Amino acid sequence: KSSAQSLLRFLGFVFLGIAATQVLGGVLVILMFKNYSDLFQESYLSLPGWLAIAAALILLPAGVLAGSISSTSSRYQQGALMYLLLLLLCLEVSSAVLAHVYSIRMASQLESAMGYLVYQHNGSCSQDLGSRAMDVMQRKLQCCGVHNYTDWLKAPTTSWHLPACIPESCCKEKYSHCRGHLGHLEQLSQEGCLKKLEDQLCFVMLYVFWCCTVLSILELLAGVSNGILMRHQPFRDFLIL
């Protein structure tokens, strides 16, 4: 009984401390899909992030309850904690599963989505390109094309413009006078956007997945500890469940 009580109190402090980590993961997922909404047009893709934030908010009262409960606590406190832990477990598992499924699904769709954006680009050397989705992404990630800058040479509109050039968003930040001309390859980002965005997507989703997985295990431990303490109450106290 004393071991269960000590573990429950420890887990209560852990829940309070880890809530910020959970919020961070949720925000990262939401911002990821918001910043690249032209590639991820389905609004439900940010659902794992919102579920993670909702779970973090519930972690706060659950942590306070877990830290204050003892074997002599009222049945209402113990029952309320068990309800919160059950709700948290559902949210965490749902968020982890969705994060895993979406990361696999999105990784397979990124290449075709980027290829379509490159195909739609007008391929001109104009400076007025910042509003286009591919240009915004290339500036943010400091990348060029899907796999590399040669993807722009395959675009059907590139051959219309002479001299040969690619969007100025491919230029490295330190070259302020870069205009995307292929005669100055050292001024252009050499890495493609696909790999960089896949790495970001993988990191964010794995972060949420492992946070939710670890928290689910801790919540199960807290539930078992709370159940042990509830055994020391009269049988009628289980009616709250």
Q: Which is more confident, 102 or 40?
A: 102
Structure tokens at 79: 């029952």
Q: How confident is the model at residue 129 (pLDDT cuts 50, 70, 90)?
A: very low
Region of poorest pLDDT, from 50-54, 88-92, 149-153, 157-161:
157-161
Region of poorest pLDDT, from 56-60, 76-80, 139-143, 230-234:
230-234
Q: Which is more confident, 1 or 229?
A: 229
Residue 93's pLDDT is what? Answer: 92
- Is the pLDDT score of 191 beyond 80? yes
**Residues 123 and 145 sit within 8 Å (Cβ to Cβ):** no
197-223: per-residue pLDDT in tens? 888 888 998 999 999 999 999 999 988
- Separation of alpha carbons 173 and 189, rounded Å: 9
Nearest by Cα to 141 from 26, 36, 49: 36
Looking at the chain, the whole-number percentage of residues with pLDDT higher than 70 is 83
Task: Please identify which residue in the block is written with the tokens 């919540």.
Answer: 219
> How does the average pLDDT of the chain come out, rounded?
79
Q: How confident is the model at residue 157 (pLDDT cuts 50, 70, 90)?
A: low
Residue 66's pLDDT is what? Answer: 84
Residue 89's pLDDT is what? Answer: 92
End-to-end, the C-alpha distance of the chain in Å comes to: 20
The total of other beta-carbon atoms located within 10 Å of residue 188's CB is: 22
| Cα 135 to the center of its chain, rounded Å | 23
Residue 87's pLDDT is what? Answer: 93
Q: How confident is the model at residue 3 (pLDDT cuts 50, 70, 90)?
A: confident
- Separation of alpha carbons 102 and 104, rounded Å: 5
Q: How confident is the model at residue 160 (pLDDT cuts 50, 70, 90)?
A: very low
- Is the pLDDT score of 166 beyond 50? yes
Structure tokens at 138: 């290339």
Q: Report domain extents, the chain.
A: 1-232
pTM to 2 decimal places: 0.77
Q: How confident is the model at residue 127 (pLDDT cuts 50, 70, 90)?
A: very low
41-76: per-residue pLDDT in tens? 677 778 889 999 999 999 999 988 888 876 556 677
The radius of gyration of the chain's CA atoms, rounded to the nearest angstrom, is 25
Residue 88's pLDDT is what? Answer: 92
Nearest by Cα to 48 from 196, 213, 193: 213
